[in-house]
Amino acid sequence: MRGGGKPLDFDLTRRSRRKQCIMTSPESPAMTTLSALRRRLLLGLAAGMLAFGPLVHAGEVPLQDAAHVRMVVQAQLEAFSSGDAAKAFSLAAPGIQQMFGTPDRFMSMVRAQYPMVHRAASATFLRPETEGNLVVQRVQVTDAAGSPWLVTYMVQRQKDKHWRIGACVVVAGTHRLMT
């Protein structure tokens, strides 16, 4: 026992909890870098939405646009799978390209932060939707271990009329979604 009559193991537990809090603290260097990256990504995405105006009214994505959006996302998944950093990078929106600078840096980030996307074992495309100035393409992927993930891509039409991926959000899934 230590001063105050508290058992020693209580102090160890308390110290252990504090260490966990420090490791996951928003002020830690790793979290600060990640937070800054997220802020830059969201700012770039917002700027892109303002620059390109509305695509269509809320509702269904025109069939031709839906096909193009799917082709872009599918091509990037295939590029990740085959290790083609240049191709994967070319399908990212200009703001993402500017943020990472090189195909290799982009691929390193994807490999480290999105392994389920980097080497997806399978992909099922759900119906795309419009959300503001973006087309949102959700994809149910399965990683190499068989775990399901819901990947939400925000895809932007560029001034040159090509579609590019402006953001990607991944959420662990517990079951297969209906298409």
pLDDT tens track for 30-40: 444 545 555 55
Tell me the pLDDT tens digit for each residue of 40-74.
554 454 444 444 444 444 578 999 999 999 999 99
Question: Among 134-143, 157-166, 167-176, which stretch is predicted with the lowest mean pLDDT?
Answer: 167-176
Mean pLDDT over 14-34 rounds to 36
CA distance 41 to 47: 10
Domains of the chain: 12-172 (3.10.450.50)
**Confidence label for 127 from pLDDT (cuts 50, 70 and 90):** very high
